[in-house]
Amino acid sequence: MNSNNNYNNDSSSEDDLQVYETLTKIAPANELLPRKLTIDIDVKSLYPLKPLPQFCKTYTTFFEESSQRECLIPDIQVSDENRTLLDYYEENKQNLVYKRFDQLDLGKRTSNDRTYFASLLANFKRTQPRVFFRGEALFDQKLTPCSSEQIQFDSNFESGNLFCAFKKAENIYDLVIQNDINTRGNTQWFFFSVTGAQAGQTIQFNILNHLKTGSLFNEGLQPAVYSVKENQLVGTEWCRDGFNISYFKSIFMKEYPLSLKKKYYQLRFHYTFKHEGDKVYFAHSYPYTYTNLLEFLNTQLEDQERNQYLSRKVLCTTLGGNTCEVLTITSNSLQKRAFRKGVVFLARQHPGEPQGSYVMQGIIEFLTSNNPQAEYLRQNCIFKIFPMMNSDGVVNGNYRCGLEGSDLNRRWKKPNKYLHPSVYYAKKYVKGFSKERQILLVVDLHGHSRKQSSFVYGCAYSSQVKTIERVFALLMSKVNPFMDYSSCTFRVESAKDKTARIQLWRELKINWVYTYECSFYGQQKKHYQIKDYLNCGVSICNALSQIVKDTTKEFTNQANQPDIQQQMLEELGKMPQTDDQDIGSDSSQSEAELSDDELVQLFQPKTYSIKQKNLSKQQETNNKKKIQQPNGNQKSTIASQKASILQESPTKNQEQRPPMSSQKPKNPLYRIQAPQRNRQLDQVKQVEPPLMVDKSVQTDDWIYRQWLIQMGKLKKQQEFQSITPTRNIYKSSSQSVTRFIVKNSTLKNDRGRVDSISLMASGLQNKLISSSQQRQMMRYSGSNFMS
């Protein structure tokens, strides 16, 4: 026994030595790599873009000129000529100094009479989208200026959208803005650069194709200007500059549709260059690109103090291949996590409204800071943030739409999974978040180009002033010095029924769902700075902290502390009644969008609506007919089409078939004169087929009733055709068709039976029933029918 035990111990020790030797021969394991928190900056555009300078690294304040230089503007009289931008190009193509795509023929006209001068169409039927301009692909085009003159324009960078430029006179240039991708309009945002000007040179810029009928440029708004040399010398960021600014109706008509003869609007401004060989950028407002967002998120994720509260996730991939991010901000502590309220922020559904991104950046910076209010919000709330819903539109320089050519803020009712992925998945994400916990607040951040200060759009069924939906808006106006409560409106408009605000308010039953609007201009005719937009985001968080404290009742030890909501309601009750009228966007989305037959050629069939599916089927059948029929047989095809149409109306010699049971015959008396009624009835009115008796329900009473109904129908038809007075078929006479002998019984359960049936008219016998059916109806079965 001992020898066996020793043997076993020796073998086990040898195995351990072998294992140890093999382990020592293995190379040491690599160190664990840290988890990657940052985002790869990979901006995908429909065409190659140039990099932009590092904007907005420091937010230095700038000083506005108290008195702007002005010069006399001659009275502008809009002519009634029906001129388009294409006509303007034909007249001034020799003065063309810049076009965005070098090899394009801007004067080319399409065969279908739908020549949109500044529209690019992106075809998404393939894996990689292909861009076309009036049928020509743009992949081989060079994105370089086509002129080597002294003044050079450029917009081949992110969010740029200058389409072409013309030199009208010395120091006067006419500019045309590019339409939103896959649309024929939506031109209000502009972003371009100018190089080659001399120091002290003043140039007049005329932007010819603005969309809206009114603008803040007539109230004192100046374009946003960024000078590269000024930034290198002094450190000046974006500022407001320009003089002699006017916004008026243009002389050029819109291409959609020409029958309405609607005019574009024109912006005119002057600018004096300060440095020799400087590159100056001009924009409608301070730009905030998709690259700016990714760089800002990377700075937050790389900060060790901030990234512990912030997590990111890719919500979806857009049509253009860019990512839509969703951020979560909350405390890492598990204490009271199940009782935390939900808060949702969205921004940049409209790519030409960069104010929303600056407000969103202020919100993120505040919530991830060490501020006590921010710490309190993180402990009591979970924030879901969608910083840029329409990244494709921001990259490609759109003003209002995405690459599919539609307004994303009008697609929240039934978003398409393939055409509007960011809206589809964001709505699904917010709905799931609402099932997890109570959502206290939803804010959609936008910019407004026709009103000053900042304000909100809210939802309310009642027009009363004292409602719960107005409480948080009034509280924000108390905290935020840049917000004007008198400009706020609370309505559920049919034109905005498909917006995120109304749909989330209806479906999730949330009181505080707002669209927060920040003006392109400012407040009291004073321009907003970038810091002001950031402070608007901080003010929203400060107002939210007061509401959260009011709902949780944990912020004070004083028992008699009044409620914030009750105070706001009492103050609302003292305010006068308002009509909630708003100066909203006057642009019609249906006018700017492409027609159904054009959209069918750009997207996959799984994205079609019912109308577009029917249209595509009709186009396919028409194409097959054109292929089958040669050109010489056009007359035969027309004749065959006419014959197919006339097949529904039979000729006199053709035998008429009775109508199907599922189809109701048309009324032959409709719009027929009285003398022609009998003739029409002889041709159309048909005798119904004989009664087919079901043996499973053959009872004496049932046979009697069905046979009586048939005889009554035949009698009424004969009387109507002969125009004789109606006769009662129930009366017995020598001319009666039938004679019924009904046997009455004293039994309660006996309902009466047919003892005998005699047919007096042999002519009617052949028309009504066959001999087999007659024998079947006359058969007397006694009590078997009743059992």
- What angle is formed at CA 105 by the lines to CA 103 and CA 107, rounded to 5 degrees? 160
The secondary structure of 686-700 as a DSSP string is -PPPPP---GGG--H
Structural element, H or E, at residue 122: strand 121-123
CA distances from 58 to 231, 261, 431, 563 (A): 11, 47, 38, 40
Which residue type, as a one-letter code, is found at position 89?
Y
Contact between 179 and 593 under an 8 Å Cβ cutoff? The reply is no
Q: How far apart are the C-alpha atoms of 287 and 440, rounded to whole Å?
A: 31
- What angle is formed at CA 129 by the lines to CA 123 and CA 135, rounded to 5 degrees? 40
Catalytic residues, by residue number, are 517
Q: How far apart are the C-alpha atoms of 32 and 49, rounded to whole Å?
A: 37
From first CA to last CA, the distance across the chain in angstroms is: 96
Q: How far apart are the C-alpha atoms of 213 and 364, rounded to whole Å?
A: 35
Using a 10 angstrom Cβ sphere, with 0-12 exposed, 13-18 middle and 19 or more buried, the burial of residue 35 is exposed
Sheet with 239-240: strands ordered across? 152-154, 191-195, 279-283, 224-227, 239-240
Strand partners, 271: 203
The secondary structure of 72-106 as a DSSP string is --PPP------B-HHHHHHHHGGGEEEESSTT--T
Contact between 37 and 302 under an 8 Å Cβ cutoff? The reply is yes
CA distances from 573 to 124, 566, 625 (A): 54, 11, 70
The secondary structure of 341-368 as a DSSP string is EEEEEEE-SSTT-THHHHHHHHHHHHHT
Q: For residue 135, is it left (φ>0), alpha (ψ between -120 and 50) or beta?
A: left
Structure tokens at 401: 């739409």
Q: How many CB atoms lie within 10 A of CB 527?
A: 19
Q: How far apart are the C-alpha atoms of 529 and 518, rounded to whole Å?
A: 12
Q: How far apart are the C-alpha atoms of 179 and 161, rounded to whole Å?
A: 8
Residues in the chain: 787
